[in-house]
Chains A and B, each alone.
Chain A
Amino acid sequence: MPVYINSIGSVSAQRTFDNSIFLEEIVRYTDTVLEIITPNYKDYIPPAAARRMAKGIKMSTVSAKTAMTEAGMEEDEIDAIIVGTGLGCIGDSEKFVSDILDNDEQFLTPTRFIQSSHNTVAGQIALGMGCMGHNFTYVHSAISFESAVLDAKMLLENGEAKHILVGGVDELVDHHVNTHRLIGHIKQEPVETMSVLKSGTKGAIFSEGAHFFTLSSEKRPSCYAELLAVKTLNTLGENQVSGKTRSFLSENGIEPDAVDVIILGYNGDAEFDGYYDTLANALFKDAVQVYFKHLSGEFDTASGFGFWLGNKILKEQTIPDAVRMNSVATNSPKTVLIYNQYRGENHSLTLLRKC
């Protein structure tokens, strides 16, 4: 049974919450950490509900509502809500743990506790929609989002659900940033957005974001793409990437030269971008090469931005200049492959086709 991506929603360091535009104008930064461009939350969430929501919940709610609206999906049509997140609502988790330490394990308040679990986002969205169906949260570093997508795909293919809201979310908080800066996972020097790949330094530009999609076994007029396949691999050497990618495509009956657009998760980390080079310099040297983390920044579910980008490319049939790595021409992209990894681990391959 085919799986269609009927709608998208995104809150990121770019103006992606408006589905009517497509990176025509990008926001350029010269920094090491990028915060999201905050939508007007009051347009999406009643103030009484918003006051107790962590940032991750707010941006997920906006993203999820955008996707639901675009698909013309009624809340009671959603059979399942599946979310991937690397760190959940880490902001409230940090505050809760700090309160425990600061107050000698006394005076702990409920709100931060409620939001300290990873499944808060999926739970809050379900509560808001009154969705009593399958509600899962996948927490697995850089393949958290893909794990959620894979679960949704299997549910739809098995006929266990018809419409599923799938998303990925992660938020930035001070302690997390400070720790990752200390261990060199964040670049030491600010880098200008369009120079990220040329930085030649270790580490990445960190960020945050929420990306939600409605996946269905039924194609709607708003459809962006068909999800053909998704695969996750925990450990992979650089010399294995091409072979695994070739096998993945073969399993799905697709030759490498049939891939019109390859979306690569380059983040400018001189230590690990070589993984992407193995595909860009050989297997897909004649395909349109696209990158996105200079715009979205790096976070556990940044591949949600890549998924968003792939869907947009297939629906709009255009490739924004800001994401192009080469000048290969394509008039009508039909097949998009997304490859992502973080620090040489947790690799994912996602295959999309024009619907």
Chain B
Amino acid sequence: MSELKQELKEKIIEQLNLEDVAIEEIKDTDPLFGEGLGLDSIDALELIVMLDKDYGIKLADPKQGKSIFESVETMAVYIKEHRSR
């Protein structure tokens, strides 16, 4: 699980071009949207595509994203339970 969280942090920084953020600055439970990393709705779309492409998870209902993308921790838990690749 900790490996997956580390991998997610790397992917988030790379795919969302968070050039000024270091991996160690992202805590597992830090909120990704609003306060915390300050991601926005376009980032949410990028993360949905990432789930599909890298883990084979299709979100049928985009509203699910709100709870899944709450933090790296919640993302990792969801991916672990639903991943097909």
Q: Is chain B found bound to chain A in the same assembly?
A: yes
Stretch at the interface among A30-38, A100-108, A227-235, A269-277: A100-108
Stretch at the interface among B11-19, B27-35, B63-71: B11-19
In the bound complex, do residue A107 and residue B20 qualify as a contact, i.e. CB atoms below 8 Å apart?
Answer: no
In the bound complex, do residue A109 and residue B46 qualify as a contact, i.e. CB atoms below 8 Å apart?
Answer: yes
In the bound complex, do residue B42 and residue A110 qualify as a contact, i.e. CB atoms below 8 Å apart?
Answer: yes
A47, B46: Cα distance in complex, Å: 18
In the bound complex, do residue B19 and residue A109 qualify as a contact, i.e. CB atoms below 8 Å apart?
Answer: no
Which residues of A from 103 to 148 have beta carbons under 8 Å from B? 103, 106-111, 114
Decide yes or no whether B59 CB sits under 8 A from chain A: no
In the bound complex, do residue B49 and residue A51 qualify as a contact, i.e. CB atoms below 8 Å apart?
Answer: no
A79, B11: Cα distance in complex, Å: 41
Query: Could you say which residues of chain A place their CB within 8 Å of the CB of B45?
Result: 109-110
Decide yes or no whether B10 CB sits under 8 A from chain A: no
In the bound complex, do residue A107 and residue B19 qualify as a contact, i.e. CB atoms below 8 Å apart?
Answer: no
Query: Could you say which residues of chain A place their CB within 8 Å of the CB of B52?
Result: 106-107
Which residues of A from 80 to 111 have beta carbons under 8 Å from B? 103, 106-111
Write the nearest CB–CB distance from A281 to chain B, whole angstroms.
51
Query: Could you say which residues of chain A place their CB within 8 Å of the CB of B20?
Result: 47
State which of B16, B18, B53 has its C-beta within 8 Å of the C-beta of A107: B53
Decide yes or no whether A244 CB sits under 8 A from chain B: no
Write the nearest CB–CB distance from A135 to chain B, whole angstroms.
21
Decide yes or no whether A282 CB sits under 8 A from chain B: no
State which of A51, A52, A106, A110 has its C-beta within 8 Å of the C-beta of B53: A106
Give chain A's interface residue range (CB within 8 Å of chain B). 10 to 19
A186, B29: Cα distance in complex, Å: 52
A48-B38, A103-B53 known; A110-B18 Cβ under 8 A: no
Query: Could you say which residues of chain B place their CB within 8 Å of the CB of A103?
Result: 53
A52-B42, A110-B42, A111-B42 known; A47-B19 Cβ under 8 A: yes
Q: Which residue of A lies closest to B15 (CB)?
A: A109
State which of A51, A108, A109, A111 has its C-beta within 8 Å of the C-beta of B18: A51
Q: Which residue of A lies closest to B18 (CB)?
A: A51
In the bound complex, do residue A107 and residue B17 qualify as a contact, i.e. CB atoms below 8 Å apart?
Answer: no
Query: Could you say which residues of chain B place their CB within 8 Å of the CB of A48?
Result: 38
In the bound complex, do residue B19 and residue A108 qualify as a contact, i.e. CB atoms below 8 Å apart?
Answer: no
In the bound complex, do residue A51 and residue B19 qualify as a contact, i.e. CB atoms below 8 Å apart?
Answer: yes
Q: Which residue of B lies closest to A52 (CB)?
A: B17
A114, B18: Cα distance in complex, Å: 18
Q: Which residue of A lies closest to B46 (CB)?
A: A109
Query: Could you say which residues of chain B place their CB within 8 Å of the CB of A52?
Result: 17, 42
A-B contact pairs, 11 of them (CB 8 A): A52-B17, A106-B53, A107-B52, A108-B49, A109-B15, A109-B45, A110-B42, A110-B45, A111-B42, A111-B46, A114-B42
